[in-house]
A and B are shown apart, each in its own frame.
Chain A
């Protein structure tokens, strides 16, 4: 799992004040399945060098969480230093998705760790990750 620093891009015409929150996040991509490709595409397109400390560490759970892998997802969250948030990317991570009926799939990452933002899609577009991160920084609470 690699840490990638991300400045949040602005829409055309959007000013600095419009996104009046720390505009840098450090993204930890827990890419478990196909959604990992979309997250990689987003990070590749939008990541750059962070000129200082990231304001918040974000664990992005992207892909199907199988029962066998569940303890590792919990460990990844436990070992993430604060301030930390969790973003669930894609249907499988939100609720089990198309595999909700499987004998070995956890029905959503929120069964294991607290999730702050859910990004829907199967898979979501890379830009949907950016939308999710913007919501995370503007709407999330102040959990340590």
Chain B
């Protein structure tokens, strides 16, 4: 028996273990909560008026109060991660987080941020793949990489 299989380090890229939240990227657009088929993402927020020092007029931004994912309901489909327009949600391969109480399977903001430390860097593009859209926008007319 191989004890190292108990850890997530050896798993292939894009393995779906748990979902991590990078709160700085979240604009509270609510798309993930709306698209989740299981209704397991709970978001609470409020609006805040911000006057930037050099700005001409005050702006209103959404402030996240609560972001929780109930992993007892989650079916790990990844729709929330795919739909997020601001790359605030990420897959992490970690899978060993059982609980003795079911309420413990609802991970709040702080725990979802802790999972960010386990998110691996994105894997390299396959050979022959078209370049990422960001690179194409930066230098239009560039040929495929490699």
User: Would A and B touch once assembled, by the CB under 8 A criterion?
Assistant: yes
Give me the interface of A with B, judged by CB distance under 8 Å.
7, 9-12, 14, 45-46, 91, 94-98, 100, 108, 110, 115-122, 124-125, 127-128, 130-132, 135, 139-140
Kindly identify, within residues 57 to 110 of chain B, every residue whose CB is under 8 Å from any CB belonging to chain A.
70-76, 95-102, 104-105
Task: Report the minimal beta-carbon distance from A127 to chain B, rounded to whole angstroms.
Answer: 5
Which one of A11, A97, A117 contacts B38 once the chains associate, using CB atoms below 8 Å? A97
Supply 8 further A-B pairs (C-beta < 8 A) apart from A12-B4, A140-B100. A9-B2, A91-B72, A94-B73, A95-B73, A118-B105, A120-B105, A121-B95, A122-B76
The answer to whether B73 and A9 have CB atoms under 8 Å apart is: no
Task: Report the minimal beta-carbon distance from A133 to chain B, rounded to whole angstroms.
Answer: 9
Determine the chain A residues whose CB is within 8 A of the CB of B96 once the complex forms: 127-128, 131
Give Cα distance in the complex from A7 to B3, angstroms. Answer: 12
Give Cα distance in the complex from A125 to B17, angstroms. Answer: 9
Render B7-29 as a binary contact track against A, CB cut-off 8 A, 1 for contact: 10000000001000000000000
Task: Report the minimal beta-carbon distance from A25 to chain B, rounded to whole angstroms.
Answer: 14
Which one of A11, A108, A120 contacts B6 once the chains associate, using CB atoms below 8 Å? A11
Q: Does B1 contact A (CB under 8 A)?
A: yes
What DSSP secondary structure best describes chain A's contact surface?
A: mixed
Determine the chain B residues whose CB is within 8 A of the CB of A120 once the complex forms: 71-72, 74, 97-99, 105
Give Cα distance in the complex from A130 to B2, angstroms. Answer: 12
Task: Report the minimal beta-carbon distance from A128 to chain B, rounded to whole angstroms.
Answer: 5
Which one of A45, A97, A124, A140 contacts B73 once the chains associate, using CB atoms below 8 Å? A97
Give Cα distance in the complex from A12 to B37, angstroms. Answer: 39
| Contact (A125, B95) CB under 8 Å given A9-B3, A91-B73, A120-B105 | yes
Q: Does B134 contact A (CB under 8 A)?
A: no
7 interchain pairs, CB-CB under 8 A: A9-B1, A9-B5, A12-B4, A14-B3, A45-B1, A100-B73, A122-B75
Across the A-B interface, the 6 shortest Cβ-Cβ residue pairs? A131-B96, A95-B72, A132-B98, A94-B72, A122-B75, A98-B75
Task: Report the minimal beta-carbon distance from A58 to chain B, rounded to whole angstroms.
Answer: 13
The answer to whether A9 and B6 have CB atoms under 8 Å apart is: yes
Determine the chain B residues whose CB is within 8 A of the CB of A121 once the complex forms: 76, 95
